Amino acid sequence: MNQFRNLSQAEIQSLESQGNKCPSGWDKVYVGESFNAKVFHFCVFLDRCYLDTDGETLVQSSWLDGVYLEKCQIWHSRVEDCKVHNGCRIIDTAIHKGRGQFGFDACLLPGNETGPSYKPFPDFEWDKVSRGEWLGSDTEGFPTESYTNQLGPDSHFERTAYIRNLYADAGTFVQAAQRLEEVSLIGRGRPCRVVHGASIFRSVIQSTEVEGPVMVKDSWIFGNSRLSEGLLVRHSILGPETEAANAEITACLLGGGIGLHHRSLLIAVCWPDGLGNVASGAQVGSNHTGRAANASAVVSAGWFFGLNSTVQFPLDLSQAPFGFLGAGQRLPAGKYRFPFSLYGSQMNTPIVRPGWNLRKNLLAVFRNEMKWRRRLSSRQDFRVFTPDIAQKLVEALNLLQNLPDEELFLPEKYPIIGPCPLRKKDRELGMEIYEEFLENLGGGYLAKNSRFAHRIWEKLKTEARNDGHPEHFAEVLEYFQNEYLT
């Protein structure tokens, strides 16, 4: 433990000659062995201050209230109740005292806006979150020290108007942020970066970049994520490698790989597998029944919610992965059971086309596989076709085969089909494509260089030619050829 002593009379005179003041008395300032009075200029010291500094330290024109300073540099700043570690730089920034749990008492409402709420805890890991193992934990919050602000080694804080109860790991970079209150910025191999107008309240941020007029409140953001351009996140958990902008995310649990780059809405959505896209104007958040905002949605991997689409709650898409909701369409509340399906409308009535993505949109299926594998370090071995997906195809096929021979199946008469009517033609096409894939997916996987892989290759080339701009899909075709044919 470092040994501290009181200032000598000569050191006090040196500090005062350089414009420094201590209204509460210099006897409350304690210094370490390497202390050099000449590095402090025009500063005000208040309460107990511990200065474990040396000749390389530089502190100018700053208000220091109850601080513990190691070898650091501080200019034109207010620093209260703060432990400042070696190499930290603070420039034109206000750091205020104030008790809290560094965001570990955040009110998390994943999938249900009305609660119950949950709190994160220090060994909170995404694998536990995605499996639901953390729910109901009453673990205490982050273990605090005596200082209500803790700035790690080599961290940087510049032109930030208001900081209170901040824990910042080594290398954290904060520049021109608005407010950081009751926040932990945890590095874990990649320091956090918070810049250009971002505001964060009562949240835990891991290895994430927050840039622009973003607001994060009562949330946990897992590592290697990027939040930008007008995003609002509240009471939510965002998984690793999330990229989001220009959207509202409230009371959600989202895995990585979900595209949210336009004006869209997600409220009370549990999407732990991630992987998907929410287009501009999509409203995935009809959780209010008129009495209470207590409805929610469960979404499986691979979903695409089209431009200006509307999703009604309560909703269960857990058995219908890789679905496609067309532009301007409405997805009624209920449980859905057909994977790789298109949801559109006829005569203003929503209808389902089972397996449509496998029949007419295979380029998008494999483009997404390519994109997620290349962009997400945690999904480099990702495959669309797995035993779990094959089992969902089996269940959907059995459901279609057990229906009688009718022209139109209505949910009122056949609730097993889900909320959307099913036409006879779409049922037959769905059975045909599900059977084709199940007969050829060995063990649930698409075998490399198999006959079926070559048949899919021909389908992909045909889709590309029919699009009119085959050059746009050259990268996808090359990917499929390298992964499944050679």
Count helices and strands (H / E) in the chain. 8, 45
Burial 309-348 (b: 16+ CB within 10 A, else e): bbbbbbbbbbbbbbbbbbeebbbbebbbbbbbbbbbeeee
The answer to whether the beta carbons of residues 481 and 446 sit under 8 Å apart is no
All residues at 6 or more sequence positions from 267 whose CB lies less than 8 Å from its CB, including other chains: 113, 248, 249, 250, 251, 252, 284, 285, 287, 293
Type of residue at 267: I
Q: Look up residue 427 and give its two tokens.
A: 């049922």
Supply the DSSP string of 36-56, one letter for each residue. Answer: -GGGEES-EEES-EEE---TT
Q: Scanning the structure block, which residue is given the tokens 């998907």?
A: 276
Q: What are phi and psi of 471, to 5 degrees?
A: -65, -25
Which pLDDT value is given to residue 113?
Answer: 82
Supply the DSSP string of 381-419, one letter for each residue. Answer: T--S--HHHHHHHHHHHHHHHTS-S-SEE-TTT-GGG-S
Cα 470 to Cα 356, 459, 479: the distances in Å are 21, 13, 14
Q: CA nearest 70: which of 57, 83, 52?
A: 52
Which pLDDT value is given to residue 188?
Answer: 79
Which pLDDT value is given to residue 335?
Answer: 97
The answer to whether the beta carbons of residues 287 and 313 sit under 8 Å apart is yes
Q: What are phi and psi of 39, to 5 degrees?
A: -90, -5
- What is the Cα 280 distance to its own chain's centre? 18
Which pLDDT value is given to residue 289?
Answer: 61
Cα 209 to Cα 179, 226, 257: the distances in Å are 15, 5, 16
Instruction: Sort 474 into a burial class: Cβ within 10 Å, 0-12 / 13-18 / 19+.
Output: exposed
CA–CA dist 89, 153 (Å, integer): 9
CA–CA dist 255, 221 (Å, integer): 10
The answer to whether the beta carbons of residues 244 and 260 sit under 8 Å apart is yes
Residue by residue, pLDDT tens for the chain (486 residues) are 478 999 999 999 999 999 999 999 999 999 999 999 999 999 999 999 999 999 999 999 999 999 999 999 999 999 999 999 999 999 999 999 998 889 988 888 888 887 777 766 555 677 767 666 654 444 344 444 589 999 999 999 999 999 999 999 999 999 999 999 999 999 978 999 999 999 999 999 999 999 999 999 999 999 899 999 899 999 999 999 999 999 999 999 999 999 888 889 999 999 999 999 999 999 998 766 665 677 889 999 999 999 999 999 999 999 999 999 999 999 999 999 999 999 999 878 899 999 999 999 999 999 999 999 999 998 999 999 999 999 999 999 999 999 999 999 999 999 999 999 999 999 999 999 999 999 999 899 999 999 999 999 999 999 999 887 878 899 999 999 999 998
Q: Is 121 helix (H, G, I), strand (E, B) or coil?
A: coil
Show me where the domains of the chain are located.
1-76, 356-485
Q: CA nearest 219: which of 248, 191, 246, 197?
A: 248
The answer to whether the beta carbons of residues 234 and 218 sit under 8 Å apart is yes
Type of residue at 107: C
Instruction: Sort 267 into a burial class: Cβ within 10 Å, 0-12 / 13-18 / 19+.
Output: buried
Q: Look up residue 179 and give its two tokens.
A: 């407010």
Which pLDDT value is given to residue 37?
Answer: 96
Supply the DSSP string of 161-202, one letter for each residue. Answer: SEEEEEEE-TT-EEES-SEEEEEEEE-TTS--EEESS-EEEE
Using a CB cutoff of 8 Å and minimum separation of 24, what contacts does 340-348 make? 340/365, 341/430, 343/420
